[in-house]
Amino acid sequence: MTIRDRTVKFRGERKYLMTKRFEHLTPEIAATLPIPGTVVPQQIRFAPDSQAVFYLLSDGGGMALSLWRYDLTTKLSTPVAGPQTNAGWSPEEELRRERTRMVWEGITSYQVGGRGPDATVLIPQGGKLFIKRGSKPVTEVPGIRDAMDPALFPHNTSRLAYVFEDEVWIADTVTGAAHRVTEGAMPGVSHGLAEYAAQEELGRTDGYWVSPDEQHIAFEEADVRHIPEYPIVHWEAEQAFVETHHYPLVGQPNAKVRLGVTTIEGGAVRWLDLGADDLYLARVAWTPHNQLAVMILTRDHHHLEWRLYDIHNGTFRVLFAEDSPLWVNVGDDTRFLDSGDVLTSSEASGYRHLWWYSEDGSGLRQITRGDFEIQRLLGYDAERRMAYVTATKETPIEVHVYQVHVDTGEMVRLSVEPGIHHAVMAPDFEHWVDQSGSSSLSPETRLVSLASGESQVIHGHERLSPEDLGLAAPEFVTLTLDDGTPLYGAIYAPDARSEKVPAIVAVYGGTHAQTVLNAWGLTVDLQAQLLRQKGYLVFKLDNRGSYHRGKEFEGALHRHFATVEVQDQVRGVRWLVDNRQVDPDRVGIYGWSYGGYMTLMALLKAPEVFKVGVAGAPVTDFRLYDTAYTERYMETADTNLAGYVEGSVLPLVDRLSGDLLIIHGLLDENVHFRNTVLLMDALNRVQKDYDLVVLPYSRHAVRGYHNLLTVIRRRTQFFEENL
Q: What are phi and psi of 129, to 5 degrees?
A: -120, 135
> CA-CA distance, 72 to 89, in Å (whole number)?
34
668 is catalytic: yes
Q: Which residues of 485-516 are buried (b: 16+ CB within 10 A; e: fewer)?
A: eebbbbbbbbeeeeeebbbbbbbbbbbbebbb
> CA-CA distance, 353 to 349, in Å (whole number)?
8
**DSSP secondary structure of 32-101:** -SSPTT----EEEEE-TTSSEEEEEE-TTSSSEEEEEEEETTTTEEEEEEB--TT-PPPHHHHHHHHHHT
Backbone CA torsion sign across 319, 324, 325, 326: negative
| CA distance readout (Å), 382 to 391, 427, 720 | 21, 11, 59
> CA-CA distance, 426 to 210, in Å (whole number)?
23
Instruction: Say if residues 540 and 546 touch (Cβ distance below 8 Å).
Output: no
- Which residue type does 221 have? E
- Which residue type does 347 have? E
Q: What are phi and psi of 300, to 5 degrees?
A: -80, -5
> CA-CA distance, 40 to 457, in Å (whole number)?
12
Q: What are phi and psi of 431, to 5 degrees?
A: -135, 165
> CA-CA distance, 608 to 578, in Å (whole number)?
16
CA angle in degrees (0–180, nearest 5) for 114-117-121: 50
> CA-CA distance, 178 to 399, in Å (whole number)?
45
> CA-CA distance, 501 to 581, in Å (whole number)?
6
700 is catalytic: yes
Start-to-end Cα distance in the chain:
51
| Strand positions, DSSP E, 247-367 | 256-263, 270-271, 279-286, 292-298, 303-309, 316-323, 335-336, 342-346, 353-358, 363-366
Of 167, 80, 78, the residue nearest 122 (C-alpha): 80
Which residue of the set 58, 246, 668, 698 is catalytic? Answer: 668
Spatial CB neighbours of 332, under 8 Å, sequence gap ≥ 6: 203, 283, 376
How many CB atoms lie under 10 A from the CB of residue 269? 18
Which residue of the set 593, 621, 659, 672 is catalytic? Answer: 593
Integer Rg of the chain from CA: 26
| CA distance readout (Å), 453 to 384, 406, 415, 603 | 17, 22, 9, 52
**Strands 612-616 and 582-592, bridge-based pairing:** parallel
Measured in whole angstroms, how far is the alpha carbon of residue 344 from the centre of its chain? 20
HEC profile of 455-493:
EEEEECCCCCCHHHHCCCCCEEEEEECCCCCEEEEEEEC
- Which residue type does 215 have? Q
Catalytic residue numbers?
Answer: 593, 668, 700
